[in-house]
Chain A
Amino acid sequence: MSDDHVYMTLAEGHEDDTRWAYGTGFEDPLHGVDTTVPDGVDAAELAALCVALGDDALVSAQRLAEWTTRAPELEEEVALANIGLDLLGQARLLYSRAGQADGTERGEDAYAYFRDPDDFRNVTLAELPGGDFAFSMARLLVLSSWRLAHFQGLTASSDPVLAAIAAKGVKELTYHRQYAAEWVIRLGDGTEESHRRMRAGLRQVTAYLGELFDAYEARDEVLAVLRQIADVAGLALPEMTPGDEGPGRQGRHTDHLAPLLTELQSVARAHPEATW
């Protein structure tokens, strides 16, 4: 590769050549996109929706990244990291859109790093600790099925930017759901122990379905997918019970969100002006 390799060009304009990574100071991922909020679209509502969907994605991505170096096999680590990366990308686009719509012109970092737990609007299912692999697959299945249904609906959004973000996300989420579905079947239809754990994981997750459907009604579609998988995997679907925890969409979270955000935000908050 010649000395004008594209990675070299990134370092131009930075006087400190001791940088060890490319991390913050990203360009706006929506740079050059027509960001006008169309007439008839409630800008505050649009911003709130983008923040909520961005928070679901950011918090999920962080939980998925925690599997790196801990997953059963290298291939699964790679898969979970890839899925997390897709979600992180969706979060970046959604936060950028939120900052345009709410008129603050805040960038993505302001949303990800400089808000407190009470300001986050993710559903609480996303923030629960990783648990075992079966629980993580049950959660990924439910969250990706629900998000896929939601994004499919949003491809018809009257905001063209959100519609475009959703259209791209639908393709990615289809892969995420497929991955989770195959693992739920493999574990449900596997050994006695894997079956027991998969059932326990599904039971834990279904307690939070009510909160998801309060935020976006996709009950029929998500339950149809769950039933389809449960049939193949020989799993009985647990009864749906309302969760005990408050709704994350109102900013009421479990005790698990604050430590997650503390870790996620620690470097940015320790060095608020830093770019590297």
Chain B
Amino acid sequence: MVTVLGDARRARHIAEQVPDPELPMLTLADLGVLRGVEVGDDGTVVASLTPTYSGCPAMAEMRAGVAARLRDAGFARVEVRTVLDPPWTTDWITLEGQRKLAEHGIAPPGPAPRRASGPVPLTLSPTQRRVECPRCGSADTEESSRFGATSCKALWRCRACREPFEYVKEI
């Protein structure tokens, strides 16, 4: 029993440290997509991942990465499962993850929108969101496109230092 618990802790630690393929400064734990790691009585490791976006092409790489790291660490039987519920939101990104994003020039997300049940309202007023430039810290920034190089990012620019930057948009 002690061994199984030790194995579980070790397996969890290994899976947590797998880098995200598209935001490699983040581990899967930082991104908040690792929902659980368990070791069964027969030694099988079951790791659970949740997708960020429905079409996120990095899911296959994440699964492959977790399986490979665990096998390299001596776990012969590894299964990586998908968990859809509850859906991932940017609130699952840890504080450490947010810090690393900013450190690498990517503005971290603010709190994800909370919605009541019923129809989703359409807001047409300009964005009130305050996004600080990750380079110079100025809040004098503007959105240039809500969609960027990956599903999770938007394109912004800073009016103070004139630099464009990416921003992990709230979802």
Which A positions have Cβ atoms within 8 angstroms of B? 1, 4, 6-7, 9-10, 12, 22, 26-27, 29-33, 75, 78-79, 82-83, 85-90, 92-93, 148-149, 152, 155, 160-161, 163-165, 167-172, 174-175, 177-179, 181-182, 185, 221, 225, 228-229, 232
Complex: how many Å from CA A79 to CA B145? Answer: 8
Cβ–Cβ contact A33 & B83, under 8 A: yes
User: Do A161 and B120 contact each other (CB < 8 Å), given the known contacts A29-B59, A79-B147, A179-B146?
Assistant: no
Contact between chains at A10 and B82 (CB < 8 Å): no
Are B82 and A32 neighbours in the complex by a CB distance under 8 Å? yes
Contacts of A82 in B (CB 8 A): 147-148, 151
Q: Does residue B2 face the partner (Cβ distance < 8 Å to A)?
A: no
A9 to B55, CA, bound (A): 20
| Nearest CB on B from A224, distance (A) | 8
Q: What's the Cα separation between A112 and B144 when bound, in Å?
A: 34
What are 9 A-B contacts defined by CB distance under 8 Å? A9-B61, A9-B65, A32-B48, A33-B82, A89-B54, A164-B84, A178-B146, A182-B124, A232-B124
Q: Name the one of A6, A75, A152 contacting B61, with C-beta atoms under 8 angstroms.
A: A6
Q: Which of B123, B151, B155 has the most CB of A within 10 A?
A: B151
Which residues from chain A contact B82 at a C-beta distance below 8 Å? 29-33
Does any Cβ of A come within 8 Å of B43's Cβ? Answer: no
Assembly CA distance A12 to B67 (angstroms): 12
Distance, CA A149 to CA B118, complexed state (A): 9
Contact (A7, B61) CB under 8 Å given A33-B83, A171-B171: yes
Mark B62-74 against chain A: 1 for CB-CB distance below 8 A, else 0: 1111011100100
Q: Does B51 have its Cβ within 8 Å of any Cβ on chain A?
A: yes
Q: A75-B155, A174-B120 are in contact. Are A6 and B19 (CB under 8 A)?
A: yes
- Judge whether A175 and B171 touch: CB under 8 Å: yes
A89 contacts B56, CB within 8 Å?
A: yes
Minimum distance in angstroms from A173 CB to a CB of chain B = 8
Known: A6-B62, A175-B171. A32 touches B87 (CB 8 A): no
Interface string of B33-71 (1 = CB under 8 A from A): 000000000000000100101111101111111011100
- Chain B contact patch, size range: 35 or more
A237 to chain B, nearest CB (A): 15
Q: Which of B21, B123, B146 contacts A79 (CB 8 A)?
A: B146
- 6 more CB-based (< 8 A) A-B contacts, given A27-B63, A32-B79, A171-B171: A6-B68, A10-B61, A31-B63, A78-B149, A171-B87, A172-B171
CB neighbours (8 Å) of B146 from chain A are 79, 175, 178-179
In the bound complex, what is the Cα–Cα distance between A1 and B60 (angstroms)? 19
Known A-B contacts A4-B72, A168-B54; A33 and B124 likewise in contact (beta carbons under 8 Å): no
Are B55 and A92 touching (Cβ within 8 A)? Answer: yes
Task: Report B-chain residues with C-beta under 8 Å of the C-beta of A6.
Answer: 18-19, 21, 61-62, 64-65, 68
Instruction: Report Cα–Cα, A174/B119, bound state, in Å.
Output: 11
Q: Interface centre among B51, B84, B169, by most A CB within 10 Å? A: B84
Measured CB to CB, the closest approach of chain A to B81, in angstroms, equals 2
For A29, the chain B residues whose CB sits under 8 A away are: 51, 59, 82
Measured in the bound complex, the distance between the Cα atoms of B55 and A29 in whole Å is 10
CB-CB under 8 A from B63, the residues of chain A are 27, 31
